[in-house]
Amino acid sequence: MSDPKRPIPNHDAGLPWVRSPQHLWLIGAAISTVILWQLPWGHQILYPFSILATWFHEMGHGVAAMLLGGRFETLLLHPSGSGVAQHSGQLWLGPIGRALVSAGGPLGAPLAGYGLLRLSQKRLPRVQLGLFLLGCALLLSVLLWVRTLFGVLAIGALGVAIALIPLYGSPWVQYFALQFLSVQACLSTFSRLDYLFTENCTIQGVAMVSDTGQMAKQLWLPYWFWGALLAAISLYCLGSGLWRLVRSHPDGF
């Protein structure tokens, strides 16, 4: 029995995404986001998504620390779009654990985005659940970890807005919103592509070792190797998720 609310996929029609304006918009948005983020004024144009990308990144660090036996203490988010996740406690696996926490920021968000992108291929109730869970995750982080006024206001507003989409958005808007936000999570690694290939950085005037620099310290291989590996995994998550989406629903939703 077919669902009258959703078109039946036709897998025999060449390149599936060519037939769906929805998928063209989604892929176009992904490409535009990456390009704009590399331009000097791109972060200003994409400011809300730049803040969301930072949140995804820092939450990846914090969640990785908790999974490895540490404590996620605070998430500091600044108007410049920079952020820091602070954790404490002894991590399991020693140097490998510390390297995994460093990788959690660039890698955790694409993995979460891939999961959400797969969820967006399901029926509408699952899509609504995905939006609701993402909105609740944003709001929960405000209660537990975000400790800057800007972060509380920005992440709180984003959380409320996303959680309300299932209540007030049309089915098309709900599907597209979850897919677009999933893509943004996958692309958060590229919000500052140069950061992946930098050994040291400065955040709010404080000199720090970058994520890939920390990985190089713990695992010996050079920082640029880890930057290239993380970028490749992020692209795979995005490409695989989009491919499965357009193959399963070539006509959109």
- Residue 183 inside a domain? The answer is yes
Residue 229 counted as domain residue: yes
Q: Is residue 131 situated within a structural domain?
A: yes
How far, in Å, CA of 59 to CA of 159, rounded?
Answer: 14
Residues 233 and 242: their CA atoms lie apart, in Å, by 14
DSSP the chain: ---TTSPPP-TTSSSGGGG-HHHHHHHHHHHHHHHHHTSTTHHHHTHHHHHHHHHHHHHHHHHHHHHTT-EEEEEEE-TTS-EEEEEESPPTTTHHHHHHHHHHHHHHHHHHHHHHHHHTTS-HHHHHHHHHHHHHHHHHHHHHTB-SHHHHHHHHHHHHHHHHHHHHS-HHHHHHHHHHHHHHHHHGGGTTHHHHT-SEEEETTEEEE-HHHHHHHHH-S-HHHHHHHHHHHHHHHHHHHHHHHHHH-TT--
> Which range marks the domain in which residue 113 is found?
17-248
The answer to whether residue 12 sits within a structural domain is no
- The tally of domains found in the chain comes to 1
Determine, yes or no, domain membership for 8.
no
The one-digit pLDDT tens for each residue of the chain (253 residues) are 444 444 444 444 444 444 567 778 888 888 888 888 878 888 788 889 889 989 999 999 999 999 999 999 999 999 988 899 999 999 999 999 999 999 999 988 899 889 998 888 878 899 999 999 999 999 999 999 999 999 999 999 999 999 999 999 999 899 989 999 998 888 878 777 778 888 887 777 778 888 999 999 999 899 999 999 999 999 899 888 888 887 776 565 6
Asked if residue 233 belongs to a domain, the reply is: yes
Domain-embedded: residue 1 = no
Residue 93 within a domain: yes
